[in-house]
Structure 1
Amino acid sequence: MTPLEVARAALRHYPVDPAATLTLLNVSENATFAVDDPAGRRTVLRVHRTGYHTLEAIEAELAWLNALRTEAGIRTPQVLPSVYGRRVVTVPAGPPEEPRRVVMFEHLPGTEPPDTDLPRAFGTLGRITARMHEHALRWRRPPRFTRFAWDYDAAFGPAARWGRWQDGPGIGPAEIKILGRLDATLRHRLAVFGKGRDRYGLIHADLRLANLLVDDSDTFVIDFDDCGFGWFLYDLGSALSFLEHDPRAPELIAAWVDGYRAVRPMPGADEAEISTFVLMRRLLLVAWIGSHGDTDLALSTGAEFTAGTCALAESYLSKF
């Protein structure tokens, strides 16, 4: 079944008019649709890809969403249950396909922060991220809470979650050499940095401006599909995704750190390692583009992104 067919089949589980219109909003790990009821109500339906999350992991994500909204005042989308009260709906796809998981969310107002004042937006992002980290540190997770990790092994090990960076676009012998050095350096520096409680915990893992919605004085955080256990600084690396090469990157990092420190301390030793997490995320994106070649984002980047990654890697490695 195509994602659209799954979405259409899922609608019968929700209090939605069968004539509701489905409009594809985004395809990344999942397919996300706007659901427009003839009565004028809009909701958002997420069709999960197979093999990425278990039912338990999806339920864990939704539990953190709810806890952030009710306990930390972070504006997250509310999950809309099915007519049977389930937060996650399973749609049989028929053999040999696996069943598909579907979640419906409220539709939130607002738009991505404009790029006319990126430092200000990054300051806001830093403050929100720090509030989420503070909540994660003190939150008593429900029983059987399970999410995957974003440590070195999960990112670049034998079973790398987004595939091998070696299979990214434009990878040849020269790229293998420089990015191989980057990989080895990341492995060493992450091991030395360690997974102390004040550095490693539950993170959003894709907390960039594209996943903020601003509506007047309200700011909403969306798309927790990649949330899991990782270094808190990885959220900064994620925030800088696709902007790592921008001449404004140092200014944006500084604004994020200032915003973060307004809420939660960041020791100097942690700040000194920021570039490691920026390059970790960048190398992960090379792997993601290689394994998601049919997405609009991958098609719009390609080998040029890998070349830019090699340049960033050369600059980073020159410091050691």
Structure 2
Amino acid sequence: MSGGIFVKRYDDPERCSTAAAHHAWLTSLDAGVRLPRLLATDAQRLIFERLPGHTPTVADLPRVAATLGRLHAAAHERELHAARLHQPHTTTTGLVIPDFTDPRRAALHRAAAVAGTDAAAVDALLDRPGLPAAFYKDPNVRNYLVDGEDIAVVDFDDLTLAPFGYDLAGLLVTASMTYGRLDEPTLADCVDAYRAAVAPQQCRPVDLHQFAELHHLLTLRYVGLNGYRHPWPAVRPWPDPFPPR
């Protein structure tokens, strides 16, 4: 960081340009959610305005969930109502958003083998083309900034299609792995805030619980790193929907 800017550096120029395209598309949604302005780019750098704020605490999570819901609702209403989860979607700006299934299937199968989770159960969650489409944008709790009542969204490296509730599950998993088991009132407030924002789309508890297990599998290798102090099985706030074989 330097003065009023934040510089994100990339080894891969294509990844740099893709992140810039993600930022532009999310900004175009006009969802009433704050994103940092992209001030300049070159082949391997994105230069953003530096936003004030801190990583959300547990008390901030319901407002973060509402922010996430507003982004999802705007994306679905403006563009993704025509998307199908099992197919890449090309936006009106020409951005190709990868499908939900292919980008994560191999990684989930590898992690499932390590965790003793049934790969067929993983596939059953991935292959659900009939669900309405929102998107995945790395919902790690560290990818939000809280400044008073303002919630900003940062980090634009990854973007795929995803069902409603998938990123909410990721937020809850990463927050639990960071801060410890979340209490029932906090969980209920997060779900209520998200559902109010995405209405009339649904985020059923069974889907939320199952999506959380996908995020668990994908974060297994980070336990003990990047602030993830608590393994998900030790802080999971509901019964495991995929008991070990």
Instruction: Provide closer, same or farther for how the CA distance between residues 315 and 143 of structure 1 changes in structure 2, counting only shifts above 3 A.
Output: closer
CA deviation profile, 1:136-178 (whole Å, cap 9, x unmatched): 1123533421233443x32232xx3x99427xxxxxxxx74x5
Task: Kindly state the Cα deviation for residue 107 of structure 1 after the two structures are TM-superposed.
Answer: 0.4
CA contact (8 A) 2:139 2:167 kept: yes
Which residue of the other structure, out of 188, 197, 202, is the alignment partner of 1:263?
Answer: 197
Indicate yes or no: 2:140 matched with 1:187: no
Q: Which residue number corresponds to residue 75 of structure 1?
A: 34
CA contact (8 A) 1:195 1:231 kept: no
**Are 1:212 and 2:144 an aligned pair?**
yes
Matched, 1:165 2:90: no
- Report the alpha carbon displacement of residue 52 of structure 1 after superposing the two structures with TM: 7.6
Matches of 2:50 and 2:240, distance apart in 1:
42
Taking only the aligned residue pairs, the percentage that are identical comes to 22
Query: Aligned equivalents of 2:195 and 2:239: distance in 1?
Result: 30
Supply the AA of the counterpart residue of 1:179: G
Determine which of 163, 180, 194 is the counterpart of 1:231: 163
Distance in 2 (alpha carbons) for counterparts of 1:64 and 1:42: 23
Residues 237 and 280, structure 1, Cα contact 8 Å, conserved in 2: no
3-state SS of paired residue (1:53): helix
State the one-letter code of the partner of 1:131: R
Q: Find the counterpart in structure 1 of residue 42 from structure 2.
A: 89
Q: Counterpart of 1:297?
A: 226
Give unmatched runs, 5+ long, in structure 1.
Answer: 1-33, 36-40, 82-87, 91-100, 167-174
Task: Give, in angstroms, the shift of residue 51 of structure 1.
Answer: 8.3
TM-score of the aligned structures, taking structure 1 as reference length: 0.61
Say whether 1:138 aligns with 2:88: no
Q: Is the 8 A contact 1:44 1:104 kept in 2?
A: yes
Gaps of 5+ in 2: 80-90
Go from structure 1 to structure 2 and tell me whether the alpha carbon gap of 1:65 and 1:286 turns closer, same or farther (over 3 Å shift). same
The answer (yes or no) to whether the contact 2:109–2:122 under 8 Å persists in 1 is no
How far is the alpha carbon of 1:226 from its aligned partner? Answer: 1.9
Q: 2:52 aligned with 1:109, yes or no?
A: yes
Match of 1:222 among 137, 140, 154: 154
C-alpha distance in 2 between matches for 1:64 and 1:309? 35
Larger Rg: 1
Pairs within 5 Å for 1:50-69: 50=12, 53=15, 55=17, 57-68=18-29
Q: Indicate how the Cα distance of structure 1 residues 311 and 202 shifts in structure 2: closer, same or farther if over 3 A, else same.
A: closer
Q: 1:185 to 1:266 in 2, by over 3 A?
A: farther
Normalised by the length of structure 2, the TM-score is 0.77
